[in-house]
Structure 1
Amino acid sequence: MNRMSPQLTVLLVIFSLHCYMSDMAMASDPDPLQDFCIPNTKWGYGRAARLDTIPCKNSSEATTDDFVFSGLKKPAETFSDMGIAAVSVTPQMFPGLNTLGMSFVRADIQVGGINAPHFHPRATEITYVLQGKVYSGFVDSTNRVFAAVIEQGEVMVFPRGLVHFQMNVGESPATVFGCFNSQNPGAQKIPSAIFGSEIKDELLEKAFGMTPKQIDKMRRKFVPKG
């Protein structure tokens, strides 16, 4: 019986693994396999429910109303201490967005108000100024700041995962619309993440050169009440 050489054996193993991995790769498709997926609300959302665990309702049951959203006509009813009121629109609110890989937000900013430095771990954002003058920018991974005052009709893009911010520098309220290339972009505000979490005070004192009294003051401001 002829025996294969060690070199040929290794080549066959590599070829077999390549074919196996190719079959694995073709076992799924990263793109939607249907025109749309309106969540079947009969299953309910619940606190822990995820949209990817809720089946779509039959496409024949979809209506135009599933693809129209009117919740951005007015600003949110309450403004934060920083002078901003935001309405975030996700598939839970707007079923037609489900599986399309996008979401958006309306933000109204009072004169002098700010959208504190924050980032979205799962999405790039593009912001359009509907009215007002907004100092807007982001910080790259070398700590270089890209910022400008953008006005009505202008847009700015914030690359995924980079810290960005906004401030109304005009003499009247500002309104901006943000669009994300994820239906669940996530949002983490830097002040809240640092001082509203359970990071040890000693570490924060050393990291920011702050006194225990200063840390305590910041804690009281950002730790959630209740």
Structure 2
Amino acid sequence: MLHILALFSFLLVSSSHAAVQDFCVADLTAPQGPAGYSCKTPAEVTADDFVYSGLSQPGNTSSLFNAAINTAFVDKFPGLNGLGLSMARADLAPGGVVPMHTHHGASETILIAKGSITAGFISSDNTVYLKTLKEGDIMVFPQGLLHFQVNTGRTQAHFWVSFGSSNPGIQILSNALFSNNLPSELIEKTTFLDDDEVKRLKALLGGSG
């Protein structure tokens, strides 16, 4: 019995030493490293570091994709640093789209607040998981898999997004192919698109080469 009590006491002391810091509010004036931002000193932390109001208003959907994505990632919301979560707001006009993309750093969950959204993802064995979602529906997109959302309704749509990281990262497939100087002939060989289509997409998305 004394051995058990001694072990229990040791575990309590060890855990209390491991949890000496309640949070690590990001010091946005310092460079971000692989492990995130360094911490502000406790004397510099205020309640404002744990509050963000940037998602309160609809975004401007007058864009190429007829969609607006406003993010609450750690670079805007320093209280998220080290907590493993973040959020975003998506507003889509009728026909608007969040194009095929991935988040290498997190899984994603969406909650439909208004309208109707068709959403899906593609698994690593190329199976498609597709669903039309209505208000109140939730869908999850596993980390690293290609996924998308389209407003297939007749009215403005709006959904909330949560991520399992304070900085989930994003790579949009169309931008990765057509918004840079990757030579057109290489894109044509690796995607089986013809030269005219590659040049059209590069002109549309600002690429060259």
TM class by shorter chain equals 0.7 to 0.9
Q: CA deviation at 1:79?
A: 3.4
Q: Secondary structure at the match of 1:221?
A: helix
Question: What are the residue-to-residue correspondences of 1:23-102 with 2, within 5 Å?
Answer: 34-40=21-27, 44-45=29-30, 49-50=31-32, 52-58=36-42, 61-77=44-60, 79-102=62-85
Identify if the C-alpha distance between structure 1 residues 171 and 77 changes in structure 2 by more than 3 Å, giving closer, same or farther.
closer
Measure, in 1, the Cα distance between the counterparts of 2:165 and 2:54. 19
Aligned residue number for residue 11 of structure 1: none
Check if 1:130 corresponds to 2:113: yes
Matched, 1:197 2:180: yes
1:224 CA drift (Å):
5.6
Match of 2:156 in 1: 173
2:204 is matched with which residue? 221
> What are structure 1's unaligned runs of at least 5 residues?
1-30
- Scaled by the length of structure 2, the TM-score of the pair is 0.82
Structure 1 stretches of 4+ moved >4 Å = none
1:96 to 1:220, Cα distance in 2 relative to 1, 3 A: same
How far has the Cα of 1:201 moved from its partner?
1.7
Please tell me the residue identity of whatever aligns with 2:41: K
Any conservation in 2 of the 1:121–1:160 contact (CA below 8 Å)?
A: yes
* Gap regions ≥5 residues in structure 2: 1-17
Deviations along 1:15-55, whole A, 9 cap, x unmatched?
Answer: xxxxxxxxxxxxxxxx97521112345xx25xxx2173533
Could you say what secondary structure the match of 1:199 adopts? coil
Write the letter of the residue equivalent to 1:50.
Q
SS at match of 1:69: coil
- Which residue number corresponds to residue 141 of structure 1? 124
AA at the equivalent of 2:32: R
* Cα distance change of structure 1 residues 110 and 32 upon mapping to structure 2, 3 Å threshold: farther
- Cα contact 2:61–2:91 (8 A) shared by 1: no
Aligned equivalents of 1:148, 1:39: Cα separation in 2: 37
C-alpha distance in structure 1 between counterparts of 2:113 and 2:185, whole Å: 44
Per-residue displacement from partner, 1:37-81 (whole Å, max 9, x unpaired)? 12345xx25xxx2173533221x5533322222111102245321
Q: Report if aligned partners of 1:133, 1:174 keep a CA contact under 8 Å in 2.
A: yes
Query: Cα gap change, 1:224/1:50 in structure 2, threshold over 3 Å: closer, same or farther?
Result: farther
Shift of 1:101: 1.3
Computing the radius of gyration over CA atoms, which structure comes out larger, 1 or 2? 1
Q: State the AA in 2 paired with 1:134.
A: I
TM-score (norm. length: structure 1): 0.76
2: CA distance between counterparts of 1:55 and 1:37?
A: 5
RMSD: 2.1
Letter in 1 for 2:144: G
**What per-residue deviation string (whole Å, max 9, x for no partner) do you get for residues 115-165 of structure 1?**
100000111001111111000110001111101011111110000000000
